[in-house]
Structure 1
Amino acid sequence: MIDTRLNVFLSVARNLSFTKASQELFISQPAISKHIKELECEYNTCLFERMGTRIQLTKAGKILLDNAEIIIQQYKKMNFDMNNIQKKYGGSLRVGASTTIAQYLLPEMLAKFMQKYPDININTISDNSRNIEQMLKDGRIDVGMVEGISRLPELKYTNIMKDELVAIVRKGNKMSELDEIDLNTFKDTPIVIREHGSGSLQVIENYLHQNNLRLSDLNIVMSFGTTEGIKHFVEHTETMGIISIMAVSHELLENRFKIIELKGLKMMRDFAYVEKRGESIGLQKIFKHFITDSYKA
C-alpha cells in the first residue's frame, strides 16, 4: 500500500548512496535512480546534491526525510494494528547484531522465530557493536543486539544473557601444556584480539583497567574484524586469542584448542537487546518478547 518511492528515498537518504540503497533493498541501481527522479519531478525540486561520487541531502531532501520517517512509522503501526485484529502478524523488521551474536547466537533464534511467525520478514545486518548502535540511532535498523559494556543514553538496553571471553591457544602450542598463567606472563604472550569498536575489545579494556593494565601493555600482534579470523590465525601460529567461549565450543570438543585461565582475570559480559527509547510497538515488541523470553527459558 505504501509508496515504494518513499522506502527507496529513505534508504538512499540514510546511506547517502544509491549503490548501498540498491544492495539494501535488492533493487537495481537504475530502478533506485528512477524512483528518486520520479519524486524529484513530482515535487519539482532536487532531493540530493550530487558532489562527484558522493551525494548529500538538499534542504528539500531533509524536509522529505523528516516526513517520510513519520509516514513509514505510522504505516507500520497501522499495518500491525489491522493485522493484530485477526492475530495475523506480517511485515518486515530490520535487525542488526554484533559480529559474535550474529554468527553464533542469532541464526538459531531467527530460525525458531520464523517457525512461529512465518509472515514476518527479517532482514539482518552484522557489524561491531559500536556501528550497530549508530545504525539504530540513524534509523537504518529497527532493533539491535550488541555485546560490550558501553551504553548510549539515547538507546534502551535489555540484558538477555551472560557470556565469557576466554584465552585460547592451539593444541601443540607450548602453552597448551599449561592450565593457567599469571598476568605478567599474559603481558608477554603474543595476542590477537578483535578490532576497535567491537564489544569484545571494550570488555577486555575494562577488565585490564581493573587490574591496572592497558592494551598498550600487551603484546598484541594483530587485530581481526571477526572471531573466525582470530581462530584461524591462532590455529596456525604460536599466538593466543581472546574470544567468546561460545565461539570455540566445537573446537574444544574436537581438541583443537585449549583454554588457558588468566589468573585474577575472568572476563564476563552481557549480550543486550537494544532499541530506541520509548515503548516497543508492533513487530519490534513481538520480536523483543520472543528474544527475551527465549533466553529466560
Structure 2
Amino acid sequence: MKIEDFELLVKLNEVGTIRGTAKVILISQPAVTQRLKYIEDYYGETIFIRTPKKLIPTPSGEIILDYAKKIINNENELKLMLQQASEEVQGTLSIACSSLISQRFLPSILGEFTSKFPKVTIDLVTGISEDIRLQHKNYNVCIIRGEKLRESTCIRLFDDPLYIFDVEPFPSDRLKERPLISFKSDDSMHELVDNWLYHHQDKIKPLKVMTVDQIETCKQFMKQGLGMAVLPESVSDSMKQEYPHVPLELDGKPVTRGTWVCFREGVRKLPQVDHFIKALTNTTFLP
C-alpha cells in the first residue's frame, strides 16, 4: 500500500462519489475504480457500499478509513519535522490565491521570492475565494477576498475600495438606468454590490444584469458602452481618469473588499512559509 492509496480512500469518503473524486484528483474514473478494487482486494474487505447517490463506508471500511487518516497525518508530521530540521530555505510552498490577486499582484511577489529562495517549490492554485475556503486545509497559505477564514490565523493585507464605472455620466438630478455588467466572484462581492444598489435605487437602476466569467472581460464590456460595472480599485488602473465613475459608499464610508492571507497555526515554523508571509505583509498593494 502506498500513501497515495490511503489519500484516495480519504478523498473518496470526503467527496462521496467515484466520479467526483476522479474530477478532484484529475485522473480518470476507471482508474479510480481500479485502484479502489485493488485496495479492497488487498484487505479482503469491502470498504464502500455503492449507492445511487454516494459511497457509504462499511463497518470494516470505517476502520480502514481511520487507519488511512492516521497514516496520512503521520506522513505529514514526518515531512514537517524534516523540513523544520533543514537550515536552508527549501521545500514546498503550497498557495491558494484569489484569481484577482494572482493576476494583479502575485507574479511580481513570487518572482522576487523565487529569486531569493530558488530551492523552494511553488505549488499554486488560483480561483474564487469561495472555492478556496472549501479546500483551505490543503494549502500552507490562502490569499482570499471578502471575509477572513475561520479557524485560521489571518492577516489583513489591504482594503480594496469599489467603484461603479460607465462610459456615460452619473447624473445627480435624475435616475440613471443602464445595464449592469457583473463578473464571476464569490457571494460576498455580489452582496456588497446588491446592498449598495438597494440603498441607491433612487439614483441608479440596473435595467438588466449581464454576467461574464472574468473581471477583465467585464472591464472591456464596460469600455465598449455595454453597461455599468462595479470594479475594485486594484484593477481599475487609469480608468478613474478616463471614465465616469462613482465610489461605492454607505453612511459616508467607502465600501471595500478586504484581502487576507490566512494560514493554520504552527505552519509559520516552516521557513519557506514564514518568508512568503513576510513578503506579502511587506508589499504595498495600493498606492
* TM-score normalised by structure 1 residue count: 0.72
Residue in structure 1 matched with residue 163 of structure 2 by the alignment:
166
When residues 98 and 46 of structure 1 are mapped into structure 2, their CA distance, relative to the original with a 3 A threshold, is farther
Q: Secondary structure at the match of 1:189?
A: strand
Q: 1:290 aligns with which of 262, 272, 276?
A: 276
Q: Secondary structure at the match of 1:68?
A: helix
Residue in structure 2 matched with residue 227 of structure 1 by the alignment:
215
Paired amino acid for 1:296: N
Residue in structure 1 matched with residue 143 of structure 2 by the alignment:
145
Q: Summarize the alignment of residues 72-221 of structure 1 with structure 2, pairs less than 5 Å apart.
A: 72-88=72-88, 91-115=91-115, 116-127=117-128, 129-136=129-136, 139-148=137-146, 150-151=147-148, 153-169=150-166, 173=167, 175=168, 178=169, 181-182=171-172, 185=175, 188-195=177-184, 197-205=186-194, 207=196, 211=199, 218-221=206-209
Is 1:6 equivalent to 2:6 in the alignment? Answer: yes
When residues 262 and 161 of structure 1 are mapped into structure 2, their CA distance, relative to the original with a 3 A threshold, is closer
Q: Secondary structure at the match of 1:243?
A: strand
| Superposition RMSD in Å | 3.8
Residue in structure 2 matched with residue 15 of structure 1 by the alignment:
15
Residue in structure 2 matched with residue 56 of structure 1 by the alignment:
55
State the 1:271 CA deviation. Answer: 0.5
Is 1:268 equivalent to 2:256 in the alignment? Answer: yes
When residues 184 and 114 of structure 1 are mapped into structure 2, their CA distance, relative to the original with a 3 A threshold, is farther
Amino-acid identity (%):
18
1:273 and 1:288 in contact (8 A); partners too = no
State the 1:260 CA deviation. Answer: 0.8
Q: Secondary structure at the match of 2:186?
A: coil
2:222 and 2:228 in contact (8 A); partners too = yes
For 1:182 and 1:263, locate their aligned partners in 2 and report how far apart those are by CA, in whole Å: 15
Q: Which runs of 5+ in 1 are unaligned?
A: none
Residue in structure 2 matched with residue 238 of structure 1 by the alignment:
226
2:248 and 2:255 in contact (8 A); partners too = no
CA deviations over 1:167-207 (Å, ceiling 9, x no partner)? 223xxx3x1xx4x6549645x33222245734422433455
Paired amino acid for 1:126: G
Residue in structure 2 matched with residue 247 of structure 1 by the alignment:
235
CA deviations over 1:137-171 (Å, ceiling 9, x no partner)? xx4545422112x35644443211222222223xx
Paired amino acid for 2:143: M
